[in-house]
Amino acid sequence: MVNYFDDMVKNIAQAVTYDSSQAEAQPSMPFGEGVAKCLDFYLSLAEFMGFETRNYDGYVGEVTWGEGKDFAVLAHIDVVPAGNGWHHEPFGGEIDEENGRIWGRGTMDDKGPAMIALYAMKALKDEGFRPRRTIKLILGCNEETGWACIDHYNKVAKMPEEGISPDADFPVIYAEKGILHARFAFDAANAAFTGLKGGSRANMVCDYCEAVCSAPGEEAFGLERDGDKVISRGRSAHGSTPEKGVNAIAPMLEYLGLGDMKEALFGQYMGLKGLEDQTGPLTFSPNLIEQRDGKIFVTCDIRYPASMTRAQIEEILNRSGVPYTEEHCQDPLYNDVNSPLVTTLLNVYNEVTGANARPIAIGGGTYARALKCGAAFGPEEDGEESTIHQADEYITFEKIEKCFRIYKLALERLCG
Q: How many residues does the chain have?
A: 416
- Residue 405's contacts (CB-CB under 8 Å, 6 or more residues apart) are 352
pLDDT at 218 over 70: no
Asked about 78 being catalytic, the answer comes back as yes
C-alpha dihedral, 334 to 339 to 341 to 343, nearest 10°: 110
Mean pLDDT for the stretch of residues 295-322: 96
State yes or no: cis peptide before 379, omega within 30 of 0.
yes
pLDDT, mean over the chain: 95
CA 109 → CA 136, 166, 169, 374, distances in Å? Answer: 19, 9, 11, 18
Rounded distance between C-alpha atoms, residue 159 and residue 184, angstroms: 35
| Reported CATH class of domain 2-176+333-415 | alpha beta
Question: Is it true that domain 178-330 has CATH number 3.40.50.10240?
Answer: no
User: What are the distances in angstroms from CA 301 to CA 151, 271, 376?
Assistant: 21, 14, 20
Phi-psi region of 81 (alpha: psi -120 to 50; beta: other; left: phi over 0): beta
Check residue 364 and give its pLDDT: 78
Asked whether the predicted pLDDT for residue 2 surpasses 60, the reply is no
Q: Is the pLDDT of residue 260 over 60?
A: yes
CA distance 374 to 380: 18
| Beta-carbon contacts of residue 226 (< 8 Å; ≥ 6 apart) | none
- For the chain, domain boundaries: 2-176+333-415, 178-330
Q: pLDDT band at residue 3, thresholds of 50, 70 and 90?
A: confident
Query: Which among 303, 245, 292 has a CA at the least distance from the CA of 269?
Result: 303
SS (H, E, C) the chain: CHHHHHHHHHHHHHHHCCCCECCCCECCECCCHHHHHHHHHHHHHHHHCCCEEEEECCCEEEEEECCCCEEEEEEECCECCCCCCCCCCCCCCEEECCCCEEECCCCCCCHHHHHHHHHHHHHHHHCCCCCCCEEEEEEECCCCCCCHHHHHHHHHCCCCCEEEECCEECCCEEEECEEEEEEEEEECCCCCCEEEEECCCCCECCCEEEEECCCCCCCHHHCEEECCEEEEECECCECCCHHHCECCHHHHHHHCCCHHHHHHHHHCHHHCCCCEECCEECEEEEEEEEEECCEEEEEEEEEECCCCCHHHHHHHHHCCCCCEEEEEEECCEECCCCCHHHHHHHHHHHHHHCCCCCCEEECCCCHHHHCCEEEECCEECCCCCCCCCCCCCEEEHHHHHHHHHHHHHHHHHHHC
Active-site residue among 19, 109, 143, 162? Answer: 143
> Is residue 1 packed enough to be buried (19+ CB in 10 Å), middle (13-18) or exposed (0-12)?
exposed
pLDDT given at position 175:
92
Residue type, 48: F
List, for residues 83-138, the tens digit of each pLDDT value: 889 999 999 999 999 999 999 999 999 999 999 999 999 999 999 999 999 999 99
Q: What is the mean pLDDT of residues 10-29?
A: 97
pLDDT by residue (tens digit) across 266-306?
A: 999 999 999 999 888 999 999 999 999 999 999 999 999 99
What does the pLDDT read at residue 365? 81
Closest CA to 280 of 178, 169, 362: 362
- The fraction of the chain above a pLDDT of 90, given in percent, is 91
Per-residue model confidence (pLDDT) at position 50: 97
User: What global pTM score does this model have?
Assistant: 0.79
Q: Residues 19, 78, 110, 162: which is the catalytic one? A: 78
pLDDT digits (tens, 9 = 90+) for 45-58: 999 999 999 999 99
Q: Once rounded to an integer, what is the mean pLDDT over residues 250-259?
A: 94
What share of the chain has pLDDT > 70, as a percent?
Answer: 98
Supply the pLDDT for residue 363: 82
> With bands split at pLDDT 50, 70 and 90, how would you rate the model's confidence at 220?
low
**pLDDT value at 216 more than 80:** no
How confident is residue 219, by pLDDT bands cut at 50, 70 and 90? Answer: low
Say yes or no: do domains 2-176+333-415 and 178-330 share a fold.
no
Classify residue 190 by burial, with Cβ atoms within 10 Å: 0-12, 13-18, 19+: exposed
314 is catalytic: no
CB–CB of 413/351 below 8 Å? Answer: no
Q: Can you tell me the mean pLDDT for 256-261? A: 95
pLDDT over 70 at 217, yes or no: no
pLDDT tens per residue across span 385-396? 999 999 999 999
Peptide bond into 110 cis (omega under 30): yes
3-state SS of 314-338 is HHHHHCCCCCEEEEEEECCEECCCC
Q: What is the mean pLDDT of residues 176-188?
A: 96
Instruction: Return the number of other C-beta atoms located less than 10 Å from residue 2's C-beta.
Output: 6
